[in-house]
Amino acid sequence: MIGGSGLPAGLEPILGGLLLGLLTGPIMALAVQRIPAWMEWQFAGATGSSPLSGSAGRCRHAIVISGLSGVLMSLVLWRFGWGVTGASAALLTAWLITLAIIDQDTHLLPDCLTLSGLWGGLLLAAVVPLHDPVTAILGATCGYLLLRVPAAAYESLTGQSGMGHGDFKLLAMIGAWLGPTPLLTVITMASIGGALWAGAKALRGRGAVGTPLAFGPWLASAAWITLMWNPHLLDPAL
């Protein structure tokens, strides 16, 4: 079947997603570069111009981010099509890519991204009821508690922090978008992926036992895979 653009119907969303990803990739790369620098600037109590102002140098991940964004956005629009659902999935994808790369680089999950993503999911549920607001609120609450409670128990027993609070907020954000149902699946997939990666690094002599692992990329990857596997989580009509 040929679409209105003259291209095969199945090719339109793929090319559209590729273009969208290539256009938004530089914006994500800018966020990856500037937001952690701004956080360090704040923590240090530095004076002078903020890292958010002025011209930016080239982000070392710019090409990777743009390429990854193009591929994932193509898959998103191929899966969800054009419209509100596709736009919502693309927006969530952009958030997840940005957070995953920042956490991988710095072991930080900035509140300005996790909390804005959380409120974005809640607002979307209220304005465009792909799933009802109660489901979004329940998902956010469950997402936070599913990691916060075990982490608090671990800390009380060992006196050591086993997980950063950014991970709690990231899973709360994921719950706001996808609801509570897939959260255990997301945690399980992320835990298995992270454990396998840590084990592989240890076997190759590139990571000692007890070396901190950035969990955010695994949560983000598991959430995106779950979304693509179960599109009805974002739109029950699918």
- Beta-ladder partners of 8: 2
What average pLDDT does the chain have? 84
Q: Which residue has the higher pLDDT, 49 or 15?
A: 15
99-109 mean pLDDT: 93
Which pLDDT value is given to residue 1? 45
pLDDT band at 203 (very low <50, low <70, confident <90, very high): confident
* CA 169/CA 150 separation, integer angstroms: 14
Name the pLDDT band for 58 (thresholds 50, 70, 90). low
**Residue 213, C-beta contacts closer than 8 angstroms, at least 6 positions apart:** 194, 197, 198
Residue 95 has pLDDT above 60, yes or no: yes
Decide if pLDDT at 69 tops 80. yes
Give the model's pLDDT for residue 55. Answer: 52
List C-alpha distances in Å: 105 to 24, 150, 159, 179: 20, 25, 26, 28
Domain boundaries, the chain: 11-233
Q: Is the pLDDT of residue 163 over 90?
A: no
Q: What was the pLDDT predicted at 118?
A: 97
Structure tokens at 151: 């982490």
Select from 81, 43, 78, 175 the least CA-distant residue to 121. 175
* Backbone torsion region of residue 83, taken as left when φ is above 0, otherwise alpha when ψ lies between -120 and 50, otherwise beta: left
In the chain, what is the greatest distance between 2 CA atoms, to the nearest angstrom?
A: 64
Query: Which carries the bigger pLDDT value, residue 206 or residue 101?
Result: 101
pLDDT value for 160 = 76
Look at residue 81 in the predicted model and tell me its pLDDT: 86
Measured at the CA of 210, the angle between CA 204 and CA 211, to 5 degrees, comes to 65
> What distance in Å separates the CA atoms of residue 145 and residue 172, rounded to the nearest whole number?
8
**Between 48 and 201, the higher pLDDT residue:** 201
Residue 2 has pLDDT above 50, yes or no: no
Record the tokens describing residue 31, joined without a space. Answer: 């966020």
| Confidence at residue 47, expressed as pLDDT on a 0 to 100 scale | 56
Q: Would you give the end-to-end CA distance of the chain in angstroms?
A: 21
Mean pLDDT confidence for 27-31: 89
- Is the predicted pLDDT of residue 114 greater than 90, yes or no? yes
**How far is 200 from 194, CA to CA, in rounded Å?**
10
Distance from the Cα of residue 141 to its chain's centroid: 17
Do 141 and 201 form a contact (C-beta atoms < 8 A)?
Answer: no
User: Using an 8 Å Cβ cutoff, are 233 and 181 in contact?
Assistant: yes
The pTM is what? 0.87
* pLDDT given for residue 155 in this prediction: 84
Q: Which of 142-146, 184-188, 211-215 has the lowest mean pLDDT?
A: 211-215
